[in-house]
Amino acid sequence: MPSPEQNNWRKYVPGGPSPMPPDARRRVLTFAIILFIIGFIVINSLFSTKNVKDLNYSTLLTDAKAQKVVSASLNNNTGVLTGQLSDGTNYSTNGPVPVLSDEIATLRSDNVAVTFASPSSLAATLLPYLIWILIFGGFMYFLSRQARGQMNGMMSVGRSKAKQFNQDRPTTTFADVAGYLGVKQEINEVVEFLKTPGRYAAMGALIPKGILLVGPPGTGKTMLARAVAGEAGVPFFSVSGSDFMEMFVGVGASRVRDLFSTARKQSPAIVFIDEIDSIGRKRGAGVGGGHDEREQTLNQMLSEMDGFDPAEGVVVIAATNRPDVLDPALLRPGRFDRQIVVPLPDLDERLPILEVHSKGKPLDATVSLEMVARGTPGMSGADLANLVNESALHAVRRHSETISMEDFESARDRVMMGQQRDSMVLHDDERERIAFHESGHALLAYVLDKTDPLHKITIIPRGMALGVTMTLPEEDRYIMSRQHLEDSLCMRMGGRVAELLVYGDLSTGAADDLQRNTELARRMVREWGMSKEIGPMAWGSNNQVFLGEDLMHTRDYSDHTSQIIDDEVERILREQESRAIEVLTLHRRGLESLTRALLEHETIDGEAAAQLIDEAHGEPVHPAGTRTVSALGLRRSSAKDVEGSSNGNVAPTPAPVPATVPTWQPPTLPAV
């Protein structure tokens, strides 16, 4: 932890120059001292040797006989002779010590003014030693300051690193958080309790000691906590779970004690712990009993929240996206009394989120944020913020003064499909194979009944894909039926089957499709009970287990059951492959027409693809209305559908999709 001296540099007058950190000041000061000493020595030597001519002693005596020497000054201590020649040049020479009296008499006889100098000043004698003493003393003082700072840091290592906010520093409020009315209501209840505890005390209500915000990444859990800091009229302490961990054993527990001790002194108060799963994992996890430092930190937190001396008037708000790994003692009532789920926003919540992030941006009059919200299912609040920012960047690249729907469309393609790779050059035969592959996906996405509506097809490489077929759900979906899953499997088989029908062989382009299909079919059999051979049983996935949770146990079924699961997965995938072959064979002309259009235009929207497939088929595949979504809009309906709804007639049913086997039905239960 930084020492008080190190923290002082952060205090400065607003609007003034930014102060320099103490470490930087020390480095600059040390460099300046060294530079001054070197400059002093160099300049002194330059001035001392300026216009001075070095002579040999015998040469000096010869020049004196030739009347070329005017004066000579003799240093009795060093024997150095300095003086001036007849041409005005200064000279210097080393004579014998002591100088012979005969030579002095000879110089005087040659009209040389001889003088004697005996410098015996104590300051001049001690000055060189004094300089080195000062340099050494300054160096030792610098080392002592460094050591004192390190000792202060070691002595304060157990102090909490929490940042304190008070009511004079509101940043984000609930008005800045769009949607999540239920979540804000529960959190605001805690804020109101801390502001006016008398109202709740009159009813005998106790304040919750802990609130756990649970949700996927990017849903705004930390922003909700910042809103609490802005709304609360009580001290607010914010700290990350990783701030408790240190290389010294016991530091985390000491910081927890210091945090709650500080919060008690200013109670009522709120403590926010972000990413609490970093210290709140289940105890005993890992080989050898787990991380002792982490477990001590967790034990101290459990004791502070509801132990022998619980923290009264202190509410703990924590956030995590991994509630499954938290210790059960942390989740029990009395510690975290409430678990508030912060899910991905639905349609009604995505629109206000987009409005918040679009505030202050020049939107074109044609922009419909409602259409953008409908075309972005499954996006979190962070994804929507990124989408708006990417659309603004795209508008700048177009040199446009406003953000249009085209910018939102391009931004969504970049977010969902990746950056367009214009530098990749494909051969003609590769482009044709990719076009057939994507056309197979697109045709099945349009023809099958339970797939998501077709939105866009492109053979321009984006991200890690050489081509993309994009579908969008019409509305938020929370559960999926078996028929929807089977149609999704069949649609992903479309690329592989199209290559097989056209070229008679396969390529590596279907690797990702096969991997996703195999995983989905395995979950249908193992987890969702969608196989009559397995029946109403479910087993967890084979993903990496959490250390300490059945470390050496990877499955809870026999080898015979494992073989049945593999057989059922294979059966489902082969059935859907056969189904895809039959549908693509029936619509072969539509497949070829769609491929030619892709090779010509490279990108086709869902409406144009539907028109090509209908024309090649000779009649609308879906008489009740096309199943496409174009330009971030809603599902388009045909004229027949509109007419049928206006005169009261029932719209015709969609054309049946051929299948090789009848749809599986659950067994009939016997009558009781």
Kindly list the catalytic residues.
Answer: 438
Q: Give Rg (Cα) of the chain.
A: 42
Contact 50, 91 (CB under 8 A): no
Can you tell me the distance from the alpha carbon of 305 to that of 113, in angstroms, rounded to the nearest whole number?
A: 97
Q: Which amino acid appears at position 82 of this protein?
A: T
| Neighbouring C-beta atoms of residue 167, cutoff 10 Å | 14
Region at 15 (left for phi over 0; alpha for psi -120 to 50; beta for the rest): left
Closest to 508 in 3D by CA, of 445, 464, 470: 464
Residues contacting 78, CB < 8 A, separation 6+: 94, 97
- Name the one residue in this structure whose structure tokens are 């989408």: 387
75: its two tokens? 């240093």
Contact 271, 162 (CB under 8 A): yes
635: its two tokens? 């599902």
Can you tell me the distance from the alpha carbon of 432 to that of 442, in angstroms, rounded to the nearest whole number?
A: 15
Can you tell me the distance from the alpha carbon of 505 to that of 503, in angstroms, rounded to the nearest whole number?
A: 5
Torsion of CA 139, 143, 149, 152, to 10 degrees: -140
Reduced to 3 states (helix: H, G, I; strand: E, B; else coil), residue 338 is: strand
| 25 DSSP assignment | H
Contact 609, 446 (CB under 8 A): yes
640: its two tokens? 């027949």
Closest to 486 in 3D by CA, of 451, 458, 525, 511: 451
* Exposure string over 376-391, b if 16+ CB within 10 A, otherwise e: bbebbbebbbbbbebb
Contact 386, 404 (CB under 8 A): no
Contact 368, 351 (CB under 8 A): no
Tell me the HSE value of 317 on the side-chain side, using a 13 A CA sphere: 29
Residue 252, classified by CB atoms within 10 Å of its CB into exposed (0-12), middle (13-18) or buried (19+), is buried
Contact 495, 507 (CB under 8 A): no
Contact 461, 435 (CB under 8 A): no
Query: For the chain, how far is it from start to end, CA to CA, in angstroms?
Result: 72
Please tell me the total number of residues recorded for the chain in this structure. 672
Q: Where are the beta strands (DSSP E) in 365-466?
A: 454-458
Q: What is the H or E stretch that residue 211 is in?
A: strand 210-214
Residue 423, classified by CB atoms within 10 Å of its CB into exposed (0-12), middle (13-18) or buried (19+), is exposed
* Exposure string over 293-329, b if 16+ CB within 10 A, otherwise e: bbbbbbbbbbbbbbeeeebeebbbbbbbbebeebbeb
| 98 DSSP assignment | S
- Name the one residue in this structure whose structure tokens are 């009604």: 348
- Name the one residue in this structure whose structure tokens are 């086997």: 661
Closest to 420 in 3D by CA, of 366, 462, 474, 450: 462
| 78 DSSP assignment | T
